[in-house]
Amino acid sequence: MLTRFHKILIAALAVQLVLAVIVLTRGDDSATLKERSIVTGFDAAKVTRLQVFPSATGKPIDLVKKDPAKDSSWVLASAFDYPVDQAKVSDVLSPIAKLAAAAPIATQASRHLQLHVADTDFERKLVITAGGKDLTLYIGSPAGARRTALRLGGEDKVYAVTGFSPAVAGGEPRQWVDTSYVKIARDEIAKLVVARDGKTVELARPAPPAEPAGSGSAAGSAASPSPPAAEHWNVAVGGSPITLATGESLDESAIDKLLGEVAAIDLSSPADPKRDAGKPTATITIERKATGTTTAAPVLLDVIADGSSYWVHDRNLPRAALVDKARLDDVLGVERDKLVKKPPPPPPPAMTPGAGSGSAARPGTGPAGAPPRPGVGSAARP
């Protein structure tokens, strides 16, 4: 006869048998933990276009390979075909073939918004074109230690991957290019001319003095004079050399700062090189020193005020740039008074000995050594 206790034992045995069957049929769990490639067969060398969407409503960054049949150079098709820093494209494409995960961290579309890999909510969306086919990747929020949520377009599965994050794909044009628009060694500058509103300011490096005849040949001959220091420049305003008044001097630090600003001009964004520059706000001409018998072509910049920026175009280049106004305001506002130090103010007049020094003179007292006046210091005698 089966008692209630016997029935409980039989039920427990049945549960144990079921658990044993589950364990035996699952096999080796280590196989499920092995990471597998997420994007199989991906070849970065075959990619001809890369579109980066910073948000669902933001303007995409469109990068294309200029001539796939001849070279591998890239340009920003969405920013006037400005040349792209090739290393930055490689930083995005190279890791894709290595993306791997053991198992998805989510398999339902309801989790896409939470992980920021939804069609309408993501940190970055990449559309990669290779061989006429598009591969779409949604890069989301962090998903564990050094891992980022990733979803392939058209799939519900979300993976946690390493070595790939939204930061690798910049959301602004300037993040894909070399931001140095003008880059000249300061010591190479021989002349700088700024023209604005019909006026010109010119800084010219003096020519080195000629060596005396026979210098360096006979022992004991007079040594050739040293060339002027780099900060000693000739300054002309309106085509005429400036005349320094008594006590005035050139402000060498102001000149040095000015040269440094034109020697290195960084862009804030690529700009339209075909913009009409017939009436520029200013022009900047930079001439460089001759090297042996070779003289480099001068850099001639057209500058146009554009809101909080200046549109800048080097006439020798097929590209233009927007530059923050604060970056060039000193250059375009240069004038005589900003290049000349005024004499120090005269010292205050020396005080007359005894006058106002010490304590205030007592009423009724006279100069030192004078006899006291009646009624001062003692009672008057009858």
> Which pLDDT does position 295 carry in this prediction?
77
* Helix, strand or coil, per DSSP, at residue 229: coil
79-93, 97-111, 125-139, 200-214: least confidently modelled range: 200-214
Nearest CA among 382, 360, 284, 361 for reference residue 329: 284
Is the pLDDT higher at 140 or at 246? 140
Q: What is the pLDDT of residues 226-269, one digit of tens each?
A: 443 445 799 999 999 999 998 899 999 999 999 999 999 999 99
Element (H, E) at 327: helix 325-332
> Rounded to the nearest 5°, which phi and psi values hold at 371?
-65, 145
- Is residue 293 pLDDT above 50, yes or no? yes
pLDDT band at 54 (very low <50, low <70, confident <90, very high): very high
Mean pLDDT value of segment 39-53: 95
Is 83:126 a contact under the CB 8 Å cutoff? no
Where do the structural domains in the chain lie, given as residue ranges? 36-173, 180-206+232-341
Crossing angle (nearest 10°) for helices 325-332 and 252-263: 130
Q: What is the pLDDT of residues 5-37, one digit of tens each?
A: 666 766 776 767 666 656 555 544 444 568 899
Amino acid identity for residue 126 in this structure: L
Mean pLDDT value of segment 171-178: 96
Which residues, including other chains, have CB under 8 Å from residue 259's CB and lie 6 or more apart? 186, 189, 192, 203
Is 260:284 a contact under the CB 8 Å cutoff? no
pLDDT band at 346 (very low <50, low <70, confident <90, very high): confident
Q: In whole angstroms, how far apart are CA 149 and each of 36, 113, 136, 142, 317?
A: 16, 11, 14, 6, 42
In whole angstroms, what is the distance from residue 150 CA to residue 164 CA? Answer: 9
Is 159:35 a contact under the CB 8 Å cutoff? no
